[in-house]
Chains A and B, each alone.
Chain A
Amino acid sequence: MNINIPSIKKDLFVMLIFSVVILSMPMWLKPLGAGYPDLLQKFAIFGIFAVGYNVLFGLTGYLSFGHAAFLGVGSYTAVWSFKLLTMNVLPAILFSVILAGIAAAIIGFISLRRSGIYFSILTLAFAQMFYNMAYSVLTPITNGETGLQLSRSDPRIIDNMMAQAGASLPSPTLFGLEMSGYSGFYFCAVLLIIAFFISQRIFHSPFGMKLQAIKSNQTRMKYTGYNTRPYLLSAFVISGMYAGLAGALMAVTDPLAGAERMQWTASGEVVLMTILGGVGTLIGPLLGVGIIKYFENIFSAMNEQALLAAYSFMPDWLAKVMVTITSPFVGEGWHLTLGALFVVIVIFLPGGIMEGLGKIKNLFKSKKKDTFTEQIPPKLPEKAEPQKEVS
């Protein structure tokens, strides 16, 4: 196996292709039935969330189960910015990222005193604390179960200085451009491209290399003269800020914030996405997002009629049998398909889809000289050194 450090030129080339692929999503996703703005926005927003999560989990190996808390902090902050200041999205995003970063610094400072499962439990506890507080003591800020919504009587200080409040409920804008539909998607897509660019820079910086070294052997790092805590805290805060950005964008595309966004299942989802796509790879988490969100929206919408139409080329009796077999996997049962896929991937491809793609690539290019892999392959148990000698 080969680990090369990709050159800057190669990085920029990857960025170019990435930008084209993301911006052309409405076109190439249309034939797949996923080319509508609502889903495209979700792809981009969860893409940012997963890319940021991967900076922590992928590089340092610290499994956080509480990142949904930062998502929630981002959403509430954005909606408050809409309510109090202006419907412009830029200040909302700025405040969300900063506040999520502060929350991450506090939670990270405490949680990073432990590693492994204890770290995961601490982050989970904090996220659940945020979630439950949103329903109880923090209701003045979160508006409890109803969720935080805009209303016509909001002060909106900056907007009201510029012009009289309109008769209808305002919606978030970027200097007058409404953030719904395709414009909303393109706004999120541009931010995803920037987010990806930053994550790529982190991965290939000396800082990123040190984070990978912490994942590989933290003891050695300490006895090599590194204070690992500030490194881990920086990674935690960065990924928290990414989550804050994703949360803000959720509020931008739909100006409403509810506490269910902070539930532990939301934290679990981003873990699934990252593992499914490939932990520690740049693109992997995005593939995971794509697959999970696609399943959630497309497979769940299928019903028996749709299946019958799909099997229409078969003889009638066979089509009926096929529908009986496959119908538990679609519609309400889409989780079953996702679960089965997840099990298969974790068992056969512990490095996620990216490992699968790498294997296919090696099959075709087994003779090519410098194979370029940007991934940190996971530790495979069968590769453990066989010659453990007794000293």
Chain B
Amino acid sequence: MSNVILEIDNVQKSFGGLRALKDLNLQVEEGKVHAIIGPNGAGKSTMLNVCIGRLAPDSGVVTFNGENVLGKKPHEINQAGISRVFQTPEIFPDLSLLQNVMIPAFARREGSFKFNMFGNVCNEKEVLEEASHILHDIGLNEQEHDHAGSLSRGDKRRLELAMCLIQHPKLLLLDEPTAGMARHDTNRTIELLKKIKERGMTKVIIEHDMHVVFSVADHISVLAQGTIIASGTPDEIRGNLKVQEAYLGGAHL
């Protein structure tokens, strides 16, 4: 049993009368790819929002690397080592691809604030090199001077993934990285996810596409109506009748 890097303990969150998260408990082990599946409205995105400080839960504790993250600002949580890929790509559409990946590279090196108004970007050789390298990895190096806003949706998602990877986060949260993607783009993303799996980064991935889930995940948790109803290896989840009823509608995989 390896270390638990992220622990969600008894988290509750209500929006008005709607209880989005009910006694949510989840443990993510270091170095694993942990997939969260569940029907729409199960509270998957709410759970990620609580982890990155976007939402404050009503009660409960979220511990990352032995430290409570609740009450911390989003930038502090990121600096502690959690990066997130959003469901709709959050990139810098007016900047070039190169600048898009340089910004997070600077964040890792310089922390949350550095006032260096007389430096020149051209002198930041290391950052430039690292940024070019990661764009090469995701296959967007030829367009590095283009506006990120002009990319296709699939490319934007991969760019956002690169922006998170260049930070070398301890924990990467992916919210439906293949939603709305064409089949070949999905396959490319799976390849990319497998590639970064080898680097031993812990990942929590929310996904609807079972093909993606079963090809990358080490561990799967099923979330329904704000609580975890099952948790286990992909094979265990496949065989779990409760899951099949709640989520897969009784169909056999």
Q: Which residues of A contact B (CB under 8 A)?
A: 1-8, 11, 201-202, 204-210, 212-213, 215-217, 219-228, 230-231, 234, 238, 376-377, 379, 383, 385, 387, 389-391
| Interface mask (B4-21 → A, CB under 8 Å = 1, otherwise 0) | 000000000000000000
Say yes or no: A1 contacts B102, CB within 8 Å.
no
Say yes or no: A226 contacts B120, CB within 8 Å.
no
Q: Closest approach, in angstroms, between the C-beta of A130 and any C-beta of chain B?
A: 27
Cα-based distance from A1 to B93 in the complex (angstroms): 12
Say yes or no: A227 contacts B73, CB within 8 Å.
yes
Q: Which residue of A lies closest to B108 (CB)?
A: A225
Q: Which of B27-35, B111-119, B194-202 lines the interface with chain A?
A: B111-119
Q: Which residue of A lies closest to B89 (CB)?
A: A220
B163 on the interface (CB 8 Å rule)?
A: yes
Say yes or no: B91 contacts A201, CB within 8 Å.
no
**Which residues from A are CB-within-8-Å of B163?**
220, 224
- Give me 15 A-to-B residue pairs in the complex whose CB atoms sit less than 8 angstroms apart, sorted by A's number: A2-B145, A204-B122, A205-B117, A206-B114, A206-B116, A207-B116, A207-B117, A217-B93, A219-B90, A222-B74, A223-B84, A226-B75, A227-B113, A376-B95, A390-B180
Cα-based distance from A234 to B120 in the complex (angstroms): 18
| Interface mask (B65-85 → A, CB under 8 Å = 1, otherwise 0) | 000000001110011000110
Number of interface residues of B (CB under 8 A): 54
Q: Which of B146-154, B220-228, B240-248 lines the interface with chain A?
A: B146-154
Say yes or no: B150 contacts A3, CB within 8 Å.
no
Say yes or no: B99 contacts A3, CB within 8 Å.
yes
Say yes or no: A207 contacts B96, CB within 8 Å.
no
Q: Closest approach, in angstroms, between the C-beta of B59 and any C-beta of chain A?
A: 24
Q: Which residues of B contact A (CB under 8 A)?
A: 52, 54, 73-75, 78-79, 83-84, 86-88, 90-96, 98-99, 102-104, 106-108, 110-124, 145-147, 149-150, 152-153, 163, 167, 176, 179-180
Cα-based distance from A225 to B79 in the complex (angstroms): 5
Query: Apart from A213-B103, A231-B113, A376-B95, what are 19 other A-B pairs with CB-CB below 8 Å?
Result: A3-B147, A6-B122, A8-B122, A201-B118, A205-B116, A207-B114, A209-B95, A212-B95, A212-B99, A220-B90, A220-B91, A224-B83, A224-B107, A224-B163, A226-B103, A227-B75, A385-B152, A385-B153, A389-B153
Given A204-B121, A225-B112, is A213 in contact with B95 using a C-beta cutoff of 8 Å?
yes
**Which residues from B are CB-within-8-Å of A205?**
116-121
Given A205-B119, A207-B119, A223-B84, is A217 in contact with B90 using a C-beta cutoff of 8 Å?
yes
Say yes or no: A223 contacts B95, CB within 8 Å.
no
